[in-house]
Amino acid sequence: MKEKSKGISLNYLSDYYDTITPAEGSRFRRKQISLINLREGEKVLDVGCGTGALSILAKLSVGDTGEVEGVDIAPKMIAKAQKKARGSDLRISFRAASIDELPYPDGYFDVVVSSMMFHHLPVDIKKKGLKEIYRVLKKEGRFFLSDFCSPHYLTIPLMYLMFIWISSTRYQLFGKLPTLIKKSGFRTVRLAKKGFFLEYYLITKD
Ligand SMILES: C[S@@+](CC[C@H](N)C(=O)[O-])C[C@H]1O[C@@H](n2cnc3c(N)ncnc32)[C@H](O)[C@@H]1O
């Protein structure tokens, strides 16, 4: 029997991903990291970390006393992330794992971040993944999500044209993801910023 997909892996894109997406020093990444507002010493998990751009900025924010872990379903993206972190002399632990089976104990992280990855997940994995994020967060933990959640009115035609065909993404064109997050037990789900393509949510566990 064919195994059900856990998400759209970007293994095939690992060699080119950094040339087609915003790098660590870009305005986009700086905006993301400033919204997350990390503190020194915090423990951070980047789910669907890709080549680790946000993980690297997170490590620079939490410093030597903090800890950053990154997981991605695509082993080749993980290899790229490891190489970049080593090249920048940063201690970040990257592992190949899926969001629905996070290899960490309950209540381990202060902050979980997820950038542009939820639209890669089938709906059942979105639900399981949210439960896992809830589980690995500390009681007072925070969750930062940036993804397509409901398009800006100026980009609706383009977004619908690009994404309506893919069921995991279609789900997120109609504002359903914030509701799903709330249903997964998180206490507050606050829209921190709405861009032309992505929304940025700050979510608290308890
Ligand atoms: C568009 S990329 C975003 C990467 C990175 N977060 C960023 O901001 O550039 C989405 C990533 O999610 C990963 N992914 C897809 N399904 C996943 C799953 N079930 N668990 C963990 N990662 C997954 C893909 O392999 C890909 O690297």
> Considering just the CA atoms, what is the radius of gyration of the chain in Å?
16
- Residue 161 domain-assigned (yes or no): yes
Tell me, yes or no, whether 24 lies in a domain.
no
| Residue 30 is assigned to a structural domain of this protein | no
Distance 169 CA to ligand 1 centre (A): 13
Residue 7 domain flag: no
The answer to whether residue 14 is domain-embedded is no
Instruction: Tally the domains of the chain.
Output: 1
Range of the domain at 65: 40-204
Asked if 77 and 54 touch (Cβ cutoff 8 Å), the reply is no
Indicate the pairing of strand 137-147 with strand 199-204.
antiparallel
Residue 182 lies in a domain: yes
Q: What is the pTM of this model?
A: 0.95
Q: Is residue 143 situated within a structural domain? A: yes
Instruction: Write the CATH number for 192.
Output: 3.40.50.150
For a substitution probing ligand 1, which of 82, 120, 146, 200 has the most ligand atoms within 8 Å of its CB? 120
Query: pLDDT digits over 76-132, tens only?
Result: 999 999 999 999 999 999 999 999 999 999 999 999 999 999 999 999 999 999 999
- The residue contributing the CA closest to ligand 1 atom 4 is 50
DSSP string, 133-157: HHHHEEEEEEEEEEE-SS--TTTHH
Mark the ranges of the chain whose per-residue pLDDT is less than 70: 1-3
Asked if residue 120 is part of any domain, the answer here is yes
